[in-house]
Amino acid sequence: MKSIHETGCGEALLHLLETQHIDFIFCSPLSVWAPLWEALARKQAAGSTTPPTYINCRHEVLAAGLAAGCYKTTGRMQTILLPTALGVLNAAMAIRGAYQERVPMVVMAPDSFTFGEMPGRDPGMEWPPLLGDLGGPARIAEGYVKWAKEVKTALELPAAFRRACYIAESVPRGPVLLSIPFEILIDSIPFQHQQRIVPYPLVAADEALKAVAQLIVSASEPIIITDHAGRSGQNIRTLTSLAELIGAPVFEFWMPTCTNIASNHPLHGEGMVEEMLETADCILAIASDAPWHPADRKLKRNCSVIVIEEDPMRPRASHWGYKTDYCIAGDVGANLAGLVRHVKSSFRKKPDAVAARDKRLKRWQTHNERRRKEFILQANETMAGSSDIHAVQLFQTLDALLPKDAIIVDEIIAQLNLMMKVLFQRNSYQHYRGLIAGGLGMGISTALGVKLADPQRTVVCIIGDGSFSYNPIPACFGIAQQYRLPLLVIICNNQGYASQSWNTFKYFPDGWSVKTNTFLGSTIEPTPEYSALASGFAGYGERVDHPDDLESALRRGLDAVQSGRLAVIDVLLKP
């Protein structure tokens, strides 16, 4: 039995963070966090270097992106501190992205319930006129977090924090928010150490996995569709094993959030999955928010659709119009492992199915290899003789220069398909998308979180010039400098928001926009010298606009990163 002793709430909160195995505190500062800062200073003065490590953030979106990047790399949840409801609002899009991507994090935001009227508990004169919102941070955040609560008393703080951590890490995972009034932070409580509540993964019933396995083995044309099944190395291996076991291709949604299967694997599905829907008789939608488009697309008669997800049919979203016959809910990795076990057992009882699987496996391997070669041939023909840098050239050159263990974090739209097909064909780099989920502005902060969690590896953020404009650049570059996080930022600069012209071409091909080359909403003029921003943070910056200069520019950027500096290479390219 641990002893009970009187402890300041700042000190108690630090002990709670340690108990929950939190690696980092990402704080967008506000002075009412002084009780926690004092506890951290005391710990530092005592010579302790044990986690959590405090990281001072210069923007709320940066704090959320760092937490997401760390989680994507390590699988360990982090915590962020935001300045009251205003900070929660500023980070809202990033937190919503974590919510939709099922990324757990504990968001803590201070508040006040006396606004200086309690002696010895005054948060500051700025609170009455500026910082108080009706309902506080918890109410503000309700629409885009998994759970939100205001701590009502100092005695409640330990239980509320442990509860928040458990809820965030439990399936379905997601961000939670805890609002802690300053009057509680400055108080003291009788405190007792308690161990972490382990959020053991929830798995589907064995009979459900067995029934689905039998259905898969009986299918003649199964396919797999995913966009975020590979959230850990083990999940990638399990998904790959399942694909090989059943002889099914793995198609990724056009905007996958992570590596799911090696892009050069023979069963990595090439082409659009919509081309395969009318022949597939069993579709496994595994961790896929939108398996195909549109949702009401015609499927083969009697095709069975199996949805495997933490929370099938997307209760966090406004739409799920996809045919769904079976749902397997719970931890995706654990359920995939169980499914593999039952599929193996079912195949042992059906030798004919094994023979059919082997033929299917060879057919898909041939199909995917042929499609890959056709794509590269077409891409090389497109850029032949061009005086402009083509995206294919950029990704081919980058692939030739990067170390094989490099990590790619991207926030691009127009060149995404080219990147996925070209950059990953020789080397299966670890890959994550920025915390996007419909919004832009988290790519660089997510990449910095990845670098913080895995400092020995080269981390490259590939970002569009439009996306770059949404990122909090001074805050991101500042933290890279302050905490020595050398990052290679490559800007795919097509001088505009190319994706914003897609519907103009689609619905008005002969309209005035096309006739006059007037694409409102898609141009960025004049083109800024983005690379010049690096020098303000002791980084290296260079713009490159000719194919002959590309390789040397990328080499100089990588050399700068190896020397411990931020590098920004602004590549003017087409498309």
Q: What's the pLDDT score for residue 496?
A: 83
How deeply is 51 buried, as exposed, middle or buried, from its count of CB atoms within 10 A (0-12, 13-18, 19+)? middle
Kindly provide the b/e burial profile for residues 497-506, where b requires at least 16 CB atoms within 10 angstroms of the residue's own CB. bbebbeebee
Torsion of CA 155, 156, 162, 163, to 10 degrees: 160
Residue 199's closest CA among 77, 108, 79? 77
- As a whole number of angstroms, the distance between CA 123 and CA 187 comes to 13
DSSP 295: T
Q: Pull the structure tokens for residue 345.
A: 């057992």
8 Å CB contact between 383 and 411: no
Q: Any idea what DSSP says for residue 566? A: -
Report the C-alpha gap between 286 and 336 in whole angstroms. 9
In this prediction, residue 1 carries a pLDDT of 45
| Residue closest to 330 by CA, chosen among 201, 199, 227, 200 | 201
The DSSP code for 528 is P
| 96: nearest Cα among 56, 68, 130 | 68
Say if CB 65 and CB 453 are below 8 A apart: no
pTM of the entire structure? 0.95
DSSP for residue 258:
B
What is the 3-class SS of 442-491, one letter each residue? CHHHHHHHHHHHCCCCCEEEEEEHHHHHHCCHHHHHHHHHHCCCCCEEEE
pLDDT tens digits, 405-447 = 999 999 998 888 899 989 998 888 999 998 777 689 999 999 9
- pLDDT of 69: 96
- Gap between the Cα atoms of 388 and 575, Å rounded: 9
How many angstroms separate the CA atoms of 95 and 105, rounded? 9
CB under 8 Å to 292, separation ≥6 — which residues? 225, 273, 274, 277, 322
Nearest Cα neighbor of 364 from 276, 488, 281, 432 is 276
pLDDT digits (tens), the chain, 575 positions: 467 888 999 999 999 999 999 999 999 999 999 999 999 999 999 999 999 999 999 999 999 999 999 999 999 999 999 999 999 999 999 999 999 999 999 999 999 999 999 998 999 999 999 999 999 999 999 999 999 999 999 999 999 999 999 999 999 999 999 999 999 999 999 999 899 999 999 999 999 999 999 999 999 999 999 999 999 999 999 999 999 999 999 999 888 999 999 998 999 999 999 999 999 999 999 999 999 999 999 999 999 999 999 999 999 999 999 999 999 999 999 999 999 999 999 998 888 889 999 999 999 999 999 998 898 888 888 777 778 999 999 999 999 999 999 999 999 988 888 999 899 988 889 999 987 776 899 999 999 999 999 999 999 999 999 999 999 999 999 999 999 999 999 999 998 887 888 889 899 999 999 999 888 887 888 999 999 999 999 999 999 999 999 999 999 999 999 999 999 999 999 86
Residue 202 CB neighbours (<10 A): 14
Contact 560, 567 (CB under 8 A): yes
Tell me which residue of 524, 527, 543 sits closest to 535, measured CA to CA.
543
- What are the C-alpha distances in Å from 360 to residues 133, 364, 374, 562? 60, 6, 21, 46
What is the DSSP track for 199-230?
A: -PPP---HHHHHHHHHHHHH-SSEEEEESSS-
User: What is residue 2's predicted lDDT score, i.e. its pLDDT?
Assistant: 62
CB proximity list for 427: less than 8 A, separation 6 or greater: 399, 402, 404
Tens of pLDDT, residues 238-251: 999 999 999 999 99
Q: How far apart are CA 59 and CA 87, in angstroms?
A: 9
pLDDT score at 159: 97
Question: pLDDT by residue (tens digit) across 97-116?
Answer: 999 999 999 999 999 999 99
Distances (CA, A) of 430 to 2, 18, 555: 43, 29, 21
Strand order in the sheet with 326-329: 250-252, 222-226, 282-286, 304-309, 326-329
Distance from C-alpha of 220 to C-alpha of 532, rounded to nearest angstrom: 57
The pLDDT tens digits for 288-310 are 999 999 999 999 999 999 999 99
Please confirm whether the linkage preceding 509 is cis (ω < 30° from 0).
Answer: no
pLDDT score for 523: 80
Token couple for 456: 């020995």
Number of residues written out for the chain: 575
Rounded-to-integer distance, Cα 473 and Cα 421, Å: 29
CB–CB of 415/45 below 8 Å?
no
Region for 205 from its dihedrals, namely left if φ exceeds 0, alpha if ψ lies in -120 to 50, beta otherwise: beta
Q: Are 259 and 236 in contact (CB under 8 A)?
A: yes
In angstroms, the CA 234 to CA 87 distance is: 36
pLDDT at 261: 95
Distance of CA 396 to the CA centre of its chain: 24
pLDDT for res 438: 66
Cα–Cα distance measured from residue 47 to residue 50, given in angstroms and rounded to the nearest whole number:
9
